[in-house]
């Protein structure tokens, strides 16, 4: 058992939120009970995750996508009211870490996606150094971008969107989890042969064709479901807590 303050300190020490310029508050977003025995981790603080955490008797929920973002309307109505009402009625703490969880070199979303895909990180690129750049762990390159896409589909168990299937070998692979469309040009500048992220928007298809760099969109959720359980399991072990990851499927 531990208390809320120690739990928060452990996550802050691990993820160092003060190092990032982020889109919302990192750390404790909703205060619940002081005594902590069990953490539930998940990708997004959706109503389904909060309900599952209540059923699992969690004292704290640890997520990548919290409830509050810069530029939000700010009213507690509709879905926001429902999610907050559940958290407050059950006295559950909500902790959220966004960019700090993407970036952590061992337990973060990018590091953990790299492990899932068998990629070794050799460098960083892009704004706030969030992008990872590396090569295949087993040494041999992917023969084509199509081979890399098939590998990603198998590892993540979902279809991907691929643009540019030129038959060149893929050696240098850049990746950045979630909605990192905006990192594609930095990935190209960093020398990537292929870029993997969660989503694609219209302009990136043209950049991929025109710059000869393959673009693979493997799902925002699918690319970000490995960091939260890795970080939460680490902190839970440190503090002697129970931890459970709850997957709420998301096609996006």
**Closest C-alpha to 218, from 183, 167, 184, 175:** 175
| Site mask for Zn ion (CB under 5 A), range 95-134, x = bound | ----------------------------------------
Applying CB under 5 A, what is the total number of residues that bind Zn ion? 2
Q: What is the DSSP string of 23-50?
A: SS--EEEE---SEE-EEEEEEE--HHHH
User: Which residue minimizes CB distance to Zn ion?
Assistant: 178
Closer Cβ to Zn ion, 32 or 198, answer by number:
198
Stretch that binds Zn ion, among 33-41, 72-80, 145-153, 171-179 (CB under 5 A): 171-179
* CA 49/CA 63 separation, integer angstroms: 10
Stretch that binds Zn ion, among 55-63, 186-194, 210-218, 220-228 (CB under 5 A): 220-228
Helix H or strand E segment including 196: strand 194-197
- CB 249 to Zn ion: min, Å: 16
Query: Should residue 178 be labelled a site residue for Zn ion when binding is judged by CB under 5 A?
Result: yes
- CB 69 to Zn ion: min, Å: 11
Residue 22, exposed/middle/buried by CB under 10 A (0-12, 13-18, 19+)?
middle
CB atoms closer than 10 angstroms to residue 35 = 10
* CA 172/CA 192 separation, integer angstroms: 5
- Strand 93-96 relative to strand 60-65: parallel, antiparallel, unpaired? parallel
- CB 162 to Zn ion: min, Å: 21
- CB 47 to Zn ion: min, Å: 18
Closer Cβ to Zn ion, 59 or 224, answer by number:
224
Residue 78, exposed/middle/buried by CB under 10 A (0-12, 13-18, 19+)?
exposed
Closer Cβ to Zn ion, 93 or 177, answer by number:
177
Closer Cβ to Zn ion, 36 or 232, answer by number:
232
- CB 221 to Zn ion: min, Å: 8
Query: Should residue 42 be labelled a site residue for Zn ion when binding is judged by CB under 5 A?
Result: no
Binding interface with Zn ion (CB under 5 A): 178, 224
């Amino acid at each position: 058992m531990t208390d809320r303050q120690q739990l928060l300190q452990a996550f802050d020490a691990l993820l160092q939120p003060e190092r990032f310029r982020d889109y919302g508050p990192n750390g404790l977003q909703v205060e619940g009970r002081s005594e902590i025995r069990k953490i539930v981790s998940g990708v997004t603080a959706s109503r389904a995750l909060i309900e599952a955490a209540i059923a699992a008797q969690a004292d704290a929920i640890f997520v990548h996508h919290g409830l509050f973002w810069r530029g939000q309307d700010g009213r507690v109505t509709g879905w926001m009211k429902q999610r907050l009402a559940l958290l407050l009625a059950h006295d559950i703490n909500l902790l959220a870490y966004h960019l700090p969880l993407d970036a952590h070199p061992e337990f973060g979303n990018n590091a953990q996606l790299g492990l899932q895909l068998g990629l070794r990180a050799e460098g960083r690129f892009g704004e706030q150094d969030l992008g990872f750049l590396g090569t295949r762990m087993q040494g041999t390159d992917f023969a084509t971008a199509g081979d890399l896409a098939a590998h990603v589909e198998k590892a993540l168990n979902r279809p991907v969107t691929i643009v540019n299937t030129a038959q060149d070998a893929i050696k240098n692979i850049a990746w950045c989890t979630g909605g990192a469309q905006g990192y594609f040009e930095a990935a190209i500048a960093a020398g990537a042969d292929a870029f993997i992220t969660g989503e694609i928007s219209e302009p990136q298809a043209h950049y991929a064709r025109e710059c000869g760099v393959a673009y693979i969109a493997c799902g925002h959720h699918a690319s970000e479901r490995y960091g939260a359980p890795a970080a939460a399991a680490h902190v839970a072990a440190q503090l002697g807590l129970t931890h459970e990851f709850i997957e709420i499927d998301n096609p996006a």
